[in-house]
Structure 1
Amino acid sequence: MPHLPSTAPLYSPARVRELLTRHGLRPTKSLGQNFLIDGNILRAIAEAGGAAPGVPVLEVGPGLGVLTREIASRGAQVTALEKDERLKPVLAETLEGTDVNVVWGDALDFDYASLPSGTRVIANLPYYITGLLLSRFMRAPGIESATVLVQKEVGQRLAAKPGQDAYGFLSAIAALYGSVKHVRDVPKGAFLPAPDVTSSVVRLDFDRTRPQPDPAFLAFVEAALHHRRKTLRNNLRLIGHAADAIDAALEGAALRADVRAEDVPLERLHDIARTLGVVR
């Protein structure tokens, strides 16, 4: 099959289809492969993520290299993690002339602690491992921010505050590590193939001046928020705390006995954890 004229941008649906057909590829649903085909959104993600000359950028799941090339064109030093080795010839073609470092392997096996200080993650994340990857980014001291495409529902959970419907463990850990900003929603038609859900671009900024959250407190918060319809008291009893100790801790924090964890600010949860001897 002949190449399309070079005037067709890499993100155009015709160019994406031509690349896939010529290399005998189909997007793999199990790997969460939905390729971006909207130039305005590509530029908005790179801009919001802080891609700029000399900035170290990590991309997870470059796919056909469409977003990768946009980030690299802004002078960023890009490392891209890709699991699907069928994409080797495609990325060799689409990233030709750039100095992008493609690392082949599973993103869940990568050593994020090895990244240089000031690294920014900019990525269209595979939806099936979004939560796992975000927690790795949060814990990696060199990662300054993560600007990512996620399912809209995940974006809402990340940005939710105590008392809001979407608030849960993901909201809590995002707040413990830094702050979350909703950048924009992305319609299904911006991808090939179109996913089943609307997506959102969110930016997480990590405050590396804060001490890392105590793992015991993270486990406590996760348990407290585990069963959304149960009271905080019942959730804490499920992990072995005595009823009278919980009642005293709730009273000391000026909370009602039937309060739910998703309505309790993190500072109050920390007070309760301290009273129960979970943290110092």
Structure 2
Amino acid sequence: MPLHSPARVRELLARHGLRPTKSLGQNFLIDGNILRAIAEAGGAGAGGHVLEVGPGLGVLSAEIASRGARVTALEKDERLRPVLAETLQGLDVTVVWGDALDFDYAGLPGGTRVIANLPYYITGPLLSRFMRAAPIVSATVLVQKEVAQRLVSPPGSDSYGFLSALAALYGSVRHVRDVPKGAFLPAPDVTSSVIRLDFDRSRPPPPPELERFVEAALHHRRKTLRNNLRMVGHDAAQIDGALADIGLRPDVRAEDVPLAALEAVARKLGVIR
């Protein structure tokens, strides 16, 4: 039986006395077509270095490694040691045991691609770490469909927010495909999506001051940009002057302001130069 088949997954779990842990976001992929689509979209290929977060039973790890990629897999659940020793035997996969939120992503080899079925409860913090890690050039990940919609949404749309703007600050993002609940065991409560983020490492990373400014500007995205900036201490008169200088209405809602305009406001207010 292929490693991703429901019968094989159930057999592995039963034989090792395991049950998926909801608090760790453990929903194991059991659809071969989805596995192949993720590996393909992520650019897994011979000689490339891939980082995976949350390998679980090693199903996606094995698919990526079968394409010739060198895989580093971060796993927090120590109960999975004997399972991964079995399912990844003979494959070019190095398992690093520990919390993905504590991992040093800056120490990865240059040109690393992330390909992963992310634990949903830490999706946002992980994506932020991927964006800021210079060695990582792309991240092709399974996330909640709601998160995927936020990431790909343009200014003015219902789902646009800080995560959308952050992705645009570092590069670009595209939707690959939706994934039904039945592609997992156990089935999650929500529909999932595969997205790919590409990070433009040819340009300098955005300054932390700009990131903090954009986050504050979009913290209450349906409120006016003016009010959001006043809430974090900017002078009302200076805000009005900045908005007027770049042609924005004083009552413009934060979610309707393009990223380039937010950067222009930040410069007018002296947040960045």
Q: TM-score, normalised by structure 1?
A: 0.97
Tell me if 1:42 matches 2:15: no
Secondary structure of 1:123 counterpart: strand
Tell me if 1:162 matches 2:161: no
Tell me if 1:136 matches 2:124: no
Structure 2 unmatched runs, 5+: none
For residue 229 of structure 1, the aligned residue among 199, 210, 222 is 222
Secondary structure of 1:81 counterpart: strand
Q: Aligned letter for 1:135?
A: S
Deviation at 1:210, TM superposition (A): 1.1
Residues in 2 aligned to 1:73 and 1:268: alpha-carbon distance in whole angstroms: 45
Q: Aligned letter for 1:145?
A: S
Tell me if 1:200 matches 2:193: yes
Residues in 2 aligned to 1:267 and 1:41: alpha-carbon distance in whole angstroms: 36
The list of structure 1 runs, each at least 4 consecutive aligned residues, that deviate by more than 6 angstroms after superposition, is none
Per-residue CA deviation, residues 31-87 of structure 1 (Å, 9 max, x unaligned), is 000000000000000000011000000000000000000000000000000000000
Deviation at 1:229, TM superposition (A): 2.4
Residues in 1 aligned to 2:254 and 2:207: alpha-carbon distance in whole angstroms: 18
Secondary structure of 1:59 counterpart: strand
Aligned twin of 2:116: 123
Residues in 2 aligned to 1:189 and 1:109: alpha-carbon distance in whole angstroms: 32
Alignment of 1:72-221 (within 5 A): 72-221=65-214
Residues in 1 aligned to 2:132 and 2:225: alpha-carbon distance in whole angstroms: 26
Secondary structure of 1:180 counterpart: strand
For residue 16 of structure 1, the aligned residue among 9, 16, 23 is 9
Q: Aligned letter for 1:93?
A: E
Tell me if 1:30 matches 2:23: yes
Further displaced range: 79-88 or 157-166 = 157-166
Residues in 2 aligned to 1:229 and 1:65: alpha-carbon distance in whole angstroms: 42
Secondary structure of 2:96 counterpart: strand
Residues in 2 aligned to 1:111 and 1:223: alpha-carbon distance in whole angstroms: 27
Secondary structure of 1:256 counterpart: coil
Deviation at 1:228, TM superposition (A): 2.1
Aligned twin of 2:233: 240
Identity fraction in percent = 80
Aligned twin of 2:255: 262
Secondary structure of 1:184 counterpart: strand
User: How many residues of Structure 1 are paired with residues of Structure 2 in the alignment?
Assistant: 273
- C-alpha RMSD of the superposition: 0.6
